[in-house]
Amino acid sequence: MSDTTLRTVTVQLDGTDIEVAEGTTLLDACRSQDIDTPTLCYSDVLHPVNACRVCVVEVEGSRPLVPACSRAAEDGMVVATDTERVRHSRKMVLEFLASSVDLSYAAEEVHGWMDRYQVDSGRYGPPAPPDGDRDERKAHAGHHGAVDGFTAETVAQPAKIDNALYMRDYSRCITCYKCVEACGEDAQNTFALTVAGRGFDAGVSTEYDFALGDSACVFCGNCISVCPTGAIMFRSEYELREAGLWDEDRQEVTRTVCSFCGVGCNLDLHVQDNRIVKVTSPQDHDVTRGHLCIKGRFGYDYVQQLPDPMTTPIDEVLAAARRST
């Protein structure tokens, strides 16, 4: 007979002893105590990759700070989540990112953490002019651009718009690896995306930097759903944002079941001005864990009549939003 008794460990968290199931991460232990811990590269539906280090905590006896999202609680561990060292480290991570990446579309909670840790990205100087050679250098790892020491280097670069379904703006990319994981073995097993280049030049890329239609991409959009900064985005959302018409206050989200096959994926249809503007899937659903295929993610146009055959779905999303403002 197998032993199904749940083993537990006792951890001291910010001075309080708590008991958690063996294998629980420090992040989940913190969550169980309502200790808000910043995370960027972590997702409940992906394996931790420890890329961002914004979740670090101090563990007694450990020289380096420890990433809470991946470190399992151990019996007798003494953990501090809000020391000067922890706060300083989190501030630096957020500050370096904010000085080099456009975080304006990042979730509200990210901006809340930036306020909490008093992020001042302006102290690195004004942004350096956009560097047109980034993609080129990605292909030649080790050849970094020279810095001038007065301006803050950024990852600013033109958005990649090469298909009708979704776009990529790596000016907003924090290289958290979530899209790579979702495209790879954590969900889609397509491996269309990876990180190319080294150091500051590192960035997400398709094979040989091909346009998506020429890459291995199967347009499932699972990369969009995990991206924390809006670097990968539905074309409809992007075009509405560019036109100043994206308005979440006017949006309704309706849960339904995908009609294309018998798997039963749940879909959340985000509707603005009577037009579907994007489709997501709930992460806590057993069937999909937030992941979908191209049909569930993008195959919704058949429910929306277009006024004439020359109109594209994106034109109509924009026209509907304009009619309502």
Q: Which is nearer to ligand FES, 50 or 171 (CB)?
A: 50
Does 178 engage in binding with ligand SF4 (CB under 6 A)? yes
- In the complex with ligand FES, the residue whose CB is nearer, 55 or 165, is 55
* Spatial distance between the Cα atoms of 276 and 22, rounded to a whole number of angstroms: 43
Instruction: Tell me the pairing of strands 8-13 and 78-80.
Output: parallel
Nearer to ligand SF4, 119 or 232 (CB): 232
101 interacts with ligand FES by CB under 6 A? no
Residues 164, 274: Cα–Cα separation, whole Å: 20
The whole-angstrom separation of Cα 202 and Cα 196 is 5
Which residues in 118-147 contact ligand FES (CB under 6 A)? Answer: none
Q: Pick from 27, 59, 226, 265 the residue near ligand SF4 by CB under 6 A.
A: 226
Out of 11, 46, 179, 317, point to the residue binding ligand SF4 (CB under 6 A): 179
Asked if residue 33 lies in contact with residue 19, where contact means CB atoms within 8 angstroms, the answer is: no
# binding residues, ligand FES (CB under 6 A): 12
When asked if residue 192 is in the footprint of ligand SF4 (CB under 6 A), the reply is: yes
Quick note: the x/- pattern for ligand FES over 257-286, rule CB under 6 A, is ------------------------------
Close Cβ partners of 132 (under 8 Å, ≥ 6 residues apart): 157
Picked from ligand SF4, ligand FES, none, the partner binding residue 290 (CB below 5 to 8 A depending on kind) is: none
Interatomic CA distance for residues 48 and 33, integer angstroms: 21
Q: Which residues have CB under 8 Å from 115's CB, separation 6+?
A: none
Based on the shown chain and the rule CB under 6 A, indicate whether residue 217 belongs to the binding site for ligand SF4: yes
69 is a site residue for ligand FES (CB under 6 A): yes
Compute the Cα dihedral for 97, 99, 101, 103 and give only its sign.
positive
**Using the rule CB under 6 A, is 220 a contact of ligand SF4?**
yes
Interface with ligand FES in residues 24-53 (CB under 6 A): 39-42, 50-53
Residue 55 interacts with which of ligand SF4, ligand FES, none, CB < 5 to 8 Å by class = ligand FES
Report which of 33, 44, 32 is spatially closest to residue 70, judged by C-alpha positions: 44
Q: CA–CA distance from 144 to each of 29, 137, 139, 201, 220 (Å)?
A: 40, 7, 11, 7, 34
Q: How far is the CB of 70 from ligand SF4 (least distance, A)?
A: 17
Site residues (vs ligand FES, CB under 6 A): 39-42, 50-55, 67, 69
